[in-house]
Structure 1
């Protein structure tokens, strides 16, 4: 299965265009944002757990990255309410479930084999935020190949200055982004909208009139060429 699998091209999905599809597990649905492979794939998805839904214990050979968007996501008897960022390294395993229901942003099979660090950060905790110029930043993960953070931008503030090195991936968490890259027709992206920019892109994306909060990953597309990625 190939969905937005050419990583040299721009990809996007506005939240109003979500198409939910069933997963192999009852009560769990997903919106596929990008995917290279079958059920065990290099994949980026929005996943929705119905109340009292679960997955059996399983491994993630290629690692798993999660941002809880709403509800409460749980795994191995630990609850993670909306705002928690989790990073489970390659060959880790867990038994995920949700008692009340949850929506999460998930990235699978996108970590180097040598990554070994577990990460669990509550982005609701003000202590995890710091000022960086005019914007507030919550740093989530950084290594030689990628940088992950949440950013709060003021009204009309540009997200990038100059070329997007190493590519970028954006998920709107609150407020609106204005995309002036669309010729003659600026696009507005509301909460839940996803944008992926290729290596070397020039972008005029900026915050809307009320500001915006985004998940931002940069640098991670430097090693990805077209669809030459094995997902399983």
Structure 2
């Protein structure tokens, strides 16, 4: 094992802390595969364990075949992502369950949000959605529409992932995040009483935190709720 690996410092793994990252200003870091670049948002270990990253594939780049011991979740931000099972344009949402494997890459280049090794072992659902072809549902307040992408529940927790579209001037009531909340702003500007978050901002709010979200200009966000308390228990010491 290299000295770099021995002295790796986990990145943003204290999920009791609120974390806000404007990913556009972060530096791209090389991966072990030439032409694949990453912006780590949270990372448990050097090349394994739980990780959330923005990943960029240069055109014509493919990553070696690999498995997903505890699953892989992907949202395609731009370009076209590929593997041996198909091609996935921007707006695609993918879940590869624990024990799955593939050889990912991109002929034309792409950027992705990638989350690794965060599934419950019983969450075995394979998901492939093109969100441009999926139905929007009414939200809880006027000006809000929701596209559910995935949910999984057990006796002790419930996780939900969705796209949420905010029309201009939409305000939501103050609410708590039981099990935590994770947001990636895809378009426009998301807001709450703590600040403004332009496209590309990643926000992680801990279990039992609360806020009053709104958007004066309108926005589109990818939201994941209910998962952070469970993930904290999976993190290796």
CA contact (8 A) 1:15 1:190 kept: no
Cα deviation, residue 202, structure 1: 1.4
Question: Matched residue of 2:24: which SS?
Answer: helix
Which residues of structure 2 form unaligned runs of 5+? 1-8
Task: Extract unaligned runs of 5+ from structure 1.
Answer: 182-186
2:147 aligned with 1:128: no
Q: 2: CA distance between counterparts of 1:131 and 1:91?
A: 35
Q: CA deviation at 1:156?
A: 3.5
- Aligned mates of 2:102, 2:190 — CA distance in 1: 35
Q: How does 1:196-207 map to 2 (within 5 A)?
A: 196-207=204-215
**Structure 2 residue aligned with 1:174, among 187, 191, 207?**
187
Counterpart Cα distance in 1 of 2:123 and 2:23? 32
Q: Whose helix proportion is higher, 1 or 2? A: 2
Equivalent residue runs for 1:158-169 within 5 Å: 158=171, 161-169=174-182
1:44 is aligned to 2:52: yes
Please, what TM-score do these two structures have when normalized by structure 2? 0.89
Among candidates 58, 80, 83, match of residue 75 of structure 1: 83
Q: How far 1:160 sits from its partner (Å)? A: 5.8
Q: CA deviation at 1:155?
A: 2.3
- Asked if structure 2 preserves the Cα contact closer than 8 Å seen for 1:149 and 1:215, the reply is yes
1:69-110 CA-to-partner distances (Å, cap 9, x unmatched) read: 000000115110000000000010011010000000000010
Q: Deviations over 1:17-62 (max 9, x none)?
A: 2221000000000100001122012000000000000112110111
The aligned length equals: 223
Cα distance between partner residues in 1 of 2:85 and 2:231: 36
RMSD over equivalenced CA pairs, Å: 1.7
Cα pair 2:165 2:220 within 8 Å, conserved: yes
Number of the residue aligned with 1:184: none
Aligned to 2:128, what secondary structure does the other structure show? Answer: strand
- Measure how far apart 1:112 and its partner are: 1.0
Matched, 1:230 2:236: yes
Tell which deviates more after alignment, 157-166 or 42-51. 157-166
Task: Give the conservation status (yes or no) of the 8 Å contact 2:118–2:231.
Answer: no
Runs (4+) of structure 1 exceeding 4 A deviation are none
- Aligned runs of 1:24-173 on 2, under 5 Å? 24-125=32-133, 127-133=134-140, 134=142, 135-144=144-153, 145-158=158-171, 161-173=174-186
| Mapping 1:12-23, distance limit 5 Å | 12-23=20-31
| Paired residue secondary structure (1:48) | strand
Using CA pairs under 8 Å that are at least 6 residues apart, name the structure with larger relative contact order, 1 or 2.
1
